[in-house]
Amino acid sequence: MKFEAWECIEYGDVPATCDGEVSFYSALSGSGLSYPRCEKHYDEYVERVQPKIDEVDIRYPDSPFAPAWFDPSYAGEQWDSDY
């Protein structure tokens, strides 16, 4: 599916800065949402958001093993539980 430049989610901010084909790109957060962005704005989005996602992944790893900072006695929590 092909889109026009004005359909880029960031087009309204500074239209002259859109560049490249506009397509749906999935959000990096894993929410399952997709947004139409031009290639330039998608690249800027990745540069802006990916470091934050990497930081969260390091602090809260998707692992059955708790990181060293995790204290199960605090608030009676468990690291790897089936809720």
Distance CA(28)–CA(56), nearest Å, equals 12
Domain count, the chain: 1
Structural domain includes residue 81:
no
pLDDT for res 16? 67
Whether the CB-CB separation of 25 and 37 falls below 8 Å is answered with yes
Structural domain includes residue 79:
no
Structural domain includes residue 82:
no
Structural domain includes residue 46:
yes
Structural domain includes residue 50:
yes
Structural domain includes residue 69:
no
- pTM of the predicted structure, to 2 decimals: 0.67
Q: Which range marks the domain in which residue 51 is found? A: 5-59
pLDDT for res 23? 92
Whether the CB-CB separation of 66 and 79 falls below 8 Å is answered with yes
In order along its 83 residues, the chain shows pLDDT tens digits of 778 888 888 887 555 688 889 999 999 888 888 999 999 999 999 999 999 999 988 888 778 888 888 888 887 888 876 65
Distances (CA, A) of 64 to 13, 34, 80, 81, 82: 43, 29, 5, 9, 11
Structural domain includes residue 49:
yes
